[in-house]
Amino acid sequence: MLNDSGDPPKATLKLSQERSLEERISPDEVQLVYETYHRELFAFLIGVLNDPSAAQDVSQVVFRRLIELGHTAQRETIKGWLFTVAMNEALDYRRKVVRQRQHLEEYCKQIENSQGPTVDEVLVSEEEASRLRELITQLPKDQQQVVRLRIHTGKTFAVIATELQVPLNTVLTRMRLALDKLRKGMHNEFGSGNE
Protein backbone atom coordinates (compact mmCIF):
# COMPACT_ATOMS: atom_id res chain seq x y z
CA MET A 1 0.00 0.00 0.00
CA LEU A 2 3.08 2.19 -0.05
CA ASN A 3 3.64 4.35 -3.09
CA ASP A 4 6.58 4.01 -5.46
CA SER A 5 8.90 6.11 -3.34
CA GLY A 6 8.17 3.99 -0.29
CA ASP A 7 6.29 6.72 1.55
CA PRO A 8 2.84 6.18 2.98
CA PRO A 9 0.14 7.81 0.87
CA LYS A 10 -1.20 11.14 2.07
CA ALA A 11 -4.81 10.17 1.49
CA THR A 12 -6.73 8.66 4.35
CA LEU A 13 -6.95 4.89 4.39
CA LYS A 14 -10.06 2.85 3.88
CA LEU A 15 -10.61 -0.61 5.13
CA SER A 16 -11.83 -3.15 2.69
CA GLN A 17 -15.59 -3.61 3.00
CA GLU A 18 -15.26 -7.20 1.88
CA ARG A 19 -13.05 -8.27 4.80
CA SER A 20 -14.61 -10.89 7.02
CA LEU A 21 -14.90 -10.32 10.73
CA GLU A 22 -12.39 -13.05 11.46
CA GLU A 23 -9.67 -11.42 9.41
CA ARG A 24 -7.37 -9.12 11.30
CA ILE A 25 -5.78 -6.04 9.86
CA SER A 26 -2.47 -6.99 8.28
CA PRO A 27 0.88 -6.04 9.80
CA ASP A 28 1.67 -3.94 6.74
CA GLU A 29 -1.54 -2.00 7.21
CA VAL A 30 -0.80 -1.55 10.90
CA GLN A 31 2.64 -0.23 10.04
CA LEU A 32 1.22 2.11 7.46
CA VAL A 33 -1.38 3.46 9.88
CA TYR A 34 1.29 3.87 12.54
CA GLU A 35 3.66 5.73 10.25
CA THR A 36 0.89 7.96 9.00
CA TYR A 37 -0.84 8.90 12.22
CA HIS A 38 1.32 8.15 15.28
CA ARG A 39 2.82 11.64 15.52
CA GLU A 40 -0.52 13.38 15.33
CA LEU A 41 -2.07 10.84 17.68
CA PHE A 42 0.70 11.39 20.20
CA ALA A 43 0.19 15.16 20.01
CA PHE A 44 -3.53 14.64 20.49
CA LEU A 45 -3.02 12.44 23.56
CA ILE A 46 -0.59 14.93 25.08
CA GLY A 47 -3.20 17.62 24.57
CA VAL A 48 -5.84 15.54 26.35
CA LEU A 49 -3.75 14.02 29.12
CA ASN A 50 -1.08 16.72 29.56
CA ASP A 51 1.30 13.94 30.52
CA PRO A 52 3.87 12.65 28.01
CA SER A 53 4.37 9.37 29.85
CA ALA A 54 0.64 8.68 29.97
CA ALA A 55 0.33 9.70 26.31
CA GLN A 56 2.94 7.10 25.38
CA ASP A 57 1.15 4.39 27.38
CA VAL A 58 -2.22 5.15 25.85
CA SER A 59 -0.73 5.40 22.37
CA GLN A 60 0.60 1.87 22.71
CA VAL A 61 -2.81 0.65 23.87
CA VAL A 62 -4.48 2.30 20.88
CA PHE A 63 -2.25 0.60 18.37
CA ARG A 64 -2.75 -2.68 20.15
CA ARG A 65 -6.48 -2.15 19.74
CA LEU A 66 -5.85 -1.43 16.09
CA ILE A 67 -4.23 -4.81 15.69
CA GLU A 68 -7.01 -6.56 17.57
CA LEU A 69 -10.05 -4.67 16.34
CA GLY A 70 -9.04 -2.51 13.42
CA HIS A 71 -10.78 -4.81 10.99
CA THR A 72 -14.13 -4.13 12.67
CA ALA A 73 -14.01 -0.42 12.01
CA GLN A 74 -17.32 0.78 10.71
CA ARG A 75 -16.27 4.31 10.03
CA GLU A 76 -15.41 5.61 6.60
CA THR A 77 -11.76 6.14 7.46
CA ILE A 78 -9.45 4.44 9.94
CA LYS A 79 -8.26 7.78 11.27
CA GLY A 80 -11.58 8.65 12.83
CA TRP A 81 -11.77 5.19 14.38
CA LEU A 82 -8.24 5.55 15.73
CA PHE A 83 -8.90 8.91 17.40
CA THR A 84 -12.18 7.74 18.88
CA VAL A 85 -10.42 4.76 20.44
CA ALA A 86 -7.65 7.07 21.62
CA MET A 87 -10.11 9.42 23.30
CA ASN A 88 -11.92 6.56 25.02
CA GLU A 89 -8.66 5.09 26.24
CA ALA A 90 -7.48 8.50 27.43
CA LEU A 91 -10.65 9.04 29.47
CA ASP A 92 -10.32 5.54 30.84
CA TYR A 93 -6.73 6.14 31.74
CA ARG A 94 -7.55 9.40 33.49
CA ARG A 95 -10.28 7.71 35.51
CA LYS A 96 -8.16 4.76 36.56
CA VAL A 97 -4.73 6.21 37.11
CA VAL A 98 -4.36 8.56 40.06
CA ARG A 99 -0.62 8.85 40.13
CA GLN A 100 -0.23 11.25 37.17
CA ARG A 101 2.23 13.40 38.94
CA GLN A 102 4.47 10.44 39.73
CA HIS A 103 4.53 9.44 36.08
CA LEU A 104 5.53 12.93 35.03
CA GLU A 105 8.29 13.03 37.61
CA GLU A 106 9.60 9.68 36.45
CA TYR A 107 9.43 10.83 32.84
CA CYS A 108 11.28 14.02 33.68
CA LYS A 109 13.96 12.00 35.43
CA GLN A 110 14.25 9.79 32.38
CA ILE A 111 14.59 12.83 30.19
CA GLU A 112 17.32 14.22 32.46
CA ASN A 113 19.22 10.95 32.48
CA SER A 114 18.74 9.97 28.87
CA GLN A 115 20.06 11.39 25.64
CA GLY A 116 16.63 11.17 24.07
CA PRO A 117 14.61 14.08 22.69
CA THR A 118 12.26 16.13 24.85
CA VAL A 119 8.52 16.21 24.17
CA ASP A 120 8.98 19.58 22.49
CA GLU A 121 11.61 18.13 20.19
CA VAL A 122 9.46 15.09 19.39
CA LEU A 123 6.40 17.13 18.43
CA VAL A 124 8.11 20.01 16.64
CA SER A 125 11.02 19.86 14.23
CA GLU A 126 13.94 22.29 14.37
CA GLU A 127 12.77 24.01 11.20
CA GLU A 128 9.31 24.51 12.64
CA ALA A 129 10.74 25.86 15.90
CA SER A 130 12.97 28.23 13.97
CA ARG A 131 10.04 29.50 11.91
CA LEU A 132 7.94 29.91 15.06
CA ARG A 133 10.73 31.96 16.59
CA GLU A 134 10.63 34.30 13.61
CA LEU A 135 6.86 34.55 13.66
CA ILE A 136 6.74 35.37 17.37
CA THR A 137 9.07 38.34 16.88
CA GLN A 138 6.73 39.65 14.16
CA LEU A 139 3.75 39.72 16.52
CA PRO A 140 2.69 43.01 18.09
CA LYS A 141 4.34 43.50 21.48
CA ASP A 142 1.13 43.10 23.46
CA GLN A 143 0.38 39.78 21.77
CA GLN A 144 3.97 38.59 22.25
CA GLN A 145 3.72 39.40 25.91
CA VAL A 146 0.55 37.37 26.44
CA VAL A 147 1.91 34.40 24.50
CA ARG A 148 5.15 34.40 26.51
CA LEU A 149 3.36 34.73 29.82
CA ARG A 150 0.84 32.02 29.07
CA ILE A 151 3.11 29.47 27.47
CA HIS A 152 6.39 29.98 29.28
CA THR A 153 5.27 30.85 32.79
CA GLY A 154 2.07 28.80 32.70
CA LYS A 155 0.01 31.58 34.30
CA THR A 156 -3.69 31.40 33.53
CA PHE A 157 -5.34 34.08 31.40
CA ALA A 158 -7.12 35.39 34.49
CA VAL A 159 -3.84 35.89 36.35
CA ILE A 160 -2.25 37.52 33.31
CA ALA A 161 -5.18 39.91 33.03
CA THR A 162 -4.76 40.89 36.68
CA GLU A 163 -1.01 41.43 36.33
CA LEU A 164 -1.31 43.47 33.16
CA GLN A 165 -4.34 45.30 34.55
CA VAL A 166 -6.42 44.72 31.45
CA PRO A 167 -9.78 42.96 31.05
CA LEU A 168 -9.73 39.19 30.69
CA ASN A 169 -11.34 39.46 27.26
CA THR A 170 -8.49 41.66 26.10
CA VAL A 171 -5.98 38.99 27.09
CA LEU A 172 -8.03 36.29 25.41
CA THR A 173 -8.34 38.34 22.24
CA ARG A 174 -4.60 39.04 22.11
CA MET A 175 -3.82 35.37 22.55
CA ARG A 176 -6.33 34.32 19.95
CA LEU A 177 -5.08 36.83 17.38
CA ALA A 178 -1.50 35.78 18.05
CA LEU A 179 -2.34 32.11 17.58
CA ASP A 180 -4.21 32.84 14.34
CA LYS A 181 -1.17 34.66 12.96
CA LEU A 182 1.22 31.95 14.10
CA ARG A 183 -0.98 29.22 12.67
CA LYS A 184 -1.24 30.98 9.31
CA GLY A 185 2.48 31.59 9.21
CA MET A 186 3.22 27.95 9.93
CA HIS A 187 0.63 26.75 7.46
CA ASN A 188 2.11 28.92 4.70
CA GLU A 189 5.52 27.44 5.38
CA PHE A 190 4.78 23.82 6.18
CA GLY A 191 1.20 23.11 5.19
CA SER A 192 -1.08 21.32 7.67
CA GLY A 193 1.90 19.33 8.90
CA ASN A 194 -0.32 16.86 10.71
CA GLU A 195 0.40 13.80 8.60
Partner 1 sequence: MMSTDMDNDLNWLAMRYVLGELSESDRDAFEQRLLGDLAACEAIAAASRMRHGLHATIADSLVHQPSQQIVRSSARSLPAVAAALLCLSVTFVGVGYWLSSPVSNHIAAELVSRWRTGMDASIDDSDTSVDEIDDSNVESEIPEWLIAGVALENQNSSNGHDNEVKDN
Site residues for partner 1 per CB under 8 A: 40-41, 43-44, 46-48, 50, 77, 79-80, 83-84, 86-88, 91, 118-121, 123-124, 128-129, 132-133, 136, 147-148, 150-152, 156-157, 175-176, 179-180, 182-183, 186, 192-194
Return the number of the residue (20 or 74) whose C-beta is nearest partner 1.
Answer: 74
Return the number of the residue (44 or 63) whose C-beta is nearest partner 1.
Answer: 44
How far, in Å, CA of 99 to CA of 118, rounded?
A: 21
Return the number of the residue (69 or 91) whose C-beta is nearest partner 1.
Answer: 91
CB of 95 to partner 1, least distance (A): 12
- Burial label for 51, CB within 10 Å (0-12, 13-18, 19+), is buried
How far, in Å, CA of 1 to CA of 48, rounded?
A: 31
CB of 24 to partner 1, least distance (A): 23
CA dist 174 → 16, 139, 150, 155 (Å): 47, 10, 11, 15
CB of 122 to partner 1, least distance (A): 8
Give the Cβ contact number of residue 124 at 10 Å: 17
- Burial label for 41, CB within 10 Å (0-12, 13-18, 19+), is buried
Q: Are 150 and 175 in contact (CB under 8 A)?
A: yes
CB of 45 to partner 1, least distance (A): 8
Return the number of the residue (31 or 125) whose C-beta is nearest partner 1.
Answer: 125
CB of 193 to partner 1, least distance (A): 8
Return the number of the residue (24 or 39) whose C-beta is nearest partner 1.
Answer: 39
Q: Are 51 and 104 in contact (CB under 8 A)?
A: yes
